[in-house]
Chains A and B, each alone.
Chain A
Amino acid sequence: MTVTRREALGLAVGGAAALTTLRFTAPAFAAGNAVEDAILEFTGGATPGSGDITIGAPEIAENGNTVPIEVSAPGAASIMLLAAGNPSPGVATFHFSALSGAQEAKTRIRLAKTQDIIAVAKMQDGSAITTKRSVKVTIGGCGG
């Protein structure tokens, strides 16, 4: 089989384009799956609905190394926090008990870039609810 110069060029360009697309979509897809997988693992396969769950976070975080976050879900047995844009989305999971004064917690987290913070609460009745909140990050917190 003979390949003309024109065909060879076309093939090369097509190949490069395909590679570029792969490179750009693959990590985004993987991250999306990681978030979804983490949520489904936490809820035991149920897709969480909406409900009384709130995330408190600054709209703009100047320093991604330490961003104050609070989460509250009255009636929750546990709450999982995810940072969808971090190299690994898991942040923390809080578990409450009868001696907990309220189903809420505050902590400080790292954010690599501007992204959505996702909270999922597993309620005492077994249902699950979720919410998310976008945080703009000026200087990312995973460098070095």
Chain B
Amino acid sequence: MTIKTLISHPMESGQRKDKKTGEAIPRKIINKFAATFNGEPVFMANIEPSVSANPYIEFQMRVPESGSVRFEWTDDDGSVYDLEKKITVA
């Protein structure tokens, strides 16, 4: 099955300058995304500043049985945003 993920995040690249002060705006991005199913790794992505704001990631996943899929987005500041969804195989 196809999994589509989207997280709301500015993905500040570290390349932009503050228009008033001329100082570089520090980088702050989601640098890692990981998906697991019942604790087993499914898909992982290392992300660089070239990925757009509100990073969208789509990938394919096998679902051998019912269970829960967990998504984790890791921020440059160390925060981890996670989401868990149950999948029932009928």
Contacts and interface: CB of A to CB of B under 8 A. Distances in A.
A and B associate in one complex:
yes
Interface of A: 65-67, 70, 83, 86-102, 104-111, 141-144
B71 to A, nearest CB: 14
Nearest to A105: B59
- Identify whether the interface residues of B are mostly helix, strand, loop, or mixed: strand
17 contacts: A65-B53, A66-B52, A86-B50, A95-B44, A97-B42, A98-B62, A99-B64, A100-B42, A100-B60, A101-B61, A104-B59, A105-B57, A105-B59, A107-B58, A108-B51, A108-B52, A144-B17
Nearest to B41: A97
Nearest to B25: A144
Contact of A110 (B43, B44, B52, B62): B52
Contact of B50 (A91, A94, A99, A102): A91
B25 to A, nearest CB: 9
Contact of A99 (B42, B48, B53): B42
B40 A107 contact: no
A107 B57 contact: yes
Interchain residue pairs A-B with the least CB separation, the first 8: A101-B60, A90-B48, A106-B58, A102-B60, A95-B44, A66-B52, A144-B16, A108-B52
B6 to A, nearest CB: 9
Contacts of B45: 92-95, 105, 107
A144 B19 CA distance: 7
A99 B62 CA distance: 5
